[in-house]
Structure 1
Amino acid sequence: MINIYKAENRYTADHGWLKSNFSFSFAEYYDPANMHFGPMRVLNDDVVQPLRGFGAHPHREMEIVSIVLKGKLKHEDSTGRSAVTTFGGVQRMSAGTGVIHSEVNPSAAEEVNFLQLWFMPEQNGLSPSYEKTEFDVKQMKNKLLPIVAKNGAGEKVAAIHQDLTIYLSDLDEGSELTFQQEKNRRIFFFVIEGDVELNQDYKLNKRDSARIKDINEIQIKAANKSRLMLIDLP
């Protein structure tokens, strides 16, 4: 089963300094039929203006991943960690028993656009932790590059406390990929840029997404130069 969610149907919040598009219920947007997809709880597509951001605030019992698409994002938290991330970098924070953090745009001239994803952890009561990893953007070309996974993979893949893998890919026009999925698992698919076809029957455009269950193989074809995210979920 493939369910398509069009970009224009996402909930939009515009606060001036921040513009967000929510793929799931979040903050003032509440839809009891759109609370999660497996352990995936949040996908926010955020644009933050220069020298603005989210001040110190608490989180508990959530795995939080931030993927910068454009600009810079600065993270600070109560564990003493601080880092600035650009495209090619990933921030993973396990809120665990409780952490306070901030995320701001440190640039005085350029906005930052990033995807923030929340996942329910495999277990509660974990100690809070944070890591920044960097991947080789060139390795995304015409293949699925893992950037976050349960067990990580050294400095290139962030380790997360949930049985999932996040992939990114840059596809040339006409390029095709096939993803084999194990039984009883889910796929969340998101078009960051461009236009793609799924299994020949579904056309997705920029910022469209698909939630896929009970299908063991998906074929992805780029109608033009495209960037995508695929998440393998339990």
Structure 2
Amino acid sequence: MNTTMKRSIQRAGDRYHNNHGWLKTYFSFSFADYYDPENMHFSELRVLNDDHIAPGTGFGLHPHKNMEIVTVVLKGALEHKDSTGNREIIVPGQIQRMSAGTGIYHGEANASSSEPLELLQLWFMPERLGIDPSYETHTYGLESIQNRLLPVVSNHAEELGTAHIHQDMTMYLGQFPEGEEATIELRPNRSLYVFVMEGEVGFEDGEVLHRRDAARIKNADTMKFHFRPGTHVMVIDLP
């Protein structure tokens, strides 16, 4: 079996962009009115939307089924409400995980009337269909991701102290104010998705990811990164 590592880069400017006035959004994968049959998903990651939501606006209640939805707030405050009775405010340092399962309605809005909201919303395909809908907010704290990659979402929540997701994956977040080198060791033939929120991430071969760039890596094993000063990064270990 050929297990040679393969890496592709998606530059920030190559993402699909739409400006609705109240919402400026960037799609890393096919979504809504953007359809590219060659860019439907990476492993079990189906959606990554980079949303910038104006004060006092947001998405009204709308339905989802059979998807694991994770939201990372980068700036501002997100108001969440759903058909199971949850209503919360999520801020940087927290992760929102929602399992749509057999069906759920939810709405997301900028909780502030004056400050903008920036977030990443990710959809993962579930390990099985028809699970019961569920929701959780996991607080990890920004101080906990300084100069390290911290697991914040996984299917081993109790062991790792993360939000729980119904998929064989682990999401890590890290901030590196002074820069840092880090190594991730993975099980054989895993996939790795790297998304740079701020700063720059370098690979051993000299390739560099800049702000909002992403790398899709197949047959990953041991990966070494150089995080430049001021970097905020998300790394996802996938099947």
Tell me the TM-score range normalised by the shorter chain: over 0.9
Aligned residue number for residue 32 of structure 1? 37
Give the conservation status (yes or no) of the 8 Å contact 1:134–1:155.
no
Aligned residue number for residue 146 of structure 1? 151
TM-score (norm. length: structure 2): 0.95
Residue 128 to residue 174, structure 1, CA distance change in 2 (3 Å): closer
TM-score (norm. length: structure 1): 0.97
Identity level (%): 48
Give the conservation status (yes or no) of the 8 Å contact 1:142–1:175.
yes
Give the conservation status (yes or no) of the 8 Å contact 1:172–1:222.
no
Give the conservation status (yes or no) of the 8 Å contact 1:200–1:219.
no
Is 1:216 matched with 2:202?
no
Aligned residue number for residue 102 of structure 1? 107
Is 1:45 matched with 2:50?
yes
Quote the RMSD (CA, aligned, Å): 1.3
Give the conservation status (yes or no) of the 8 Å contact 1:134–1:156.
no
Aligned residue number for residue 160 of structure 1? 165
CA displacement 1:97-130 (0-9 Å, x = unmatched): 0000100112010010000000000000101111
Give the conservation status (yes or no) of the 8 Å contact 2:196–2:214.
yes
Q: Secondary structure at the match of 2:144?
A: helix
Aligned residue number for residue 112 of structure 1? 117
CA displacement 1:24-64 (0-9 Å, x = unmatched): 00001000000001110000000000110000000000000
Is 1:207 matched with 2:212?
yes
What displacement does 1:199 show? 2.0
In structure 1, the gaps of 5 or more residues are none
Regions of 4+ moved over 4 Å: none
Is 1:225 matched with 2:211?
no
CA distance in 1, matches of 2:210, 2:108: 29
What displacement does 1:155 show? 10
CA distance in 1, matches of 2:69, 2:220: 27
Give the conservation status (yes or no) of the 8 Å contact 2:176–2:228.
no
CA distance in 2, matches of 1:98, 1:90: 21
Q: Secondary structure at the match of 1:214?
A: strand
Aligned residue number for residue 81 of structure 1? 86
CA distance in 2, matches of 1:222, 1:192: 12
What displacement does 1:185 show? 1.1
CA distance in 2, matches of 1:12, 1:115: 14
What displacement does 1:156 show? 4.9
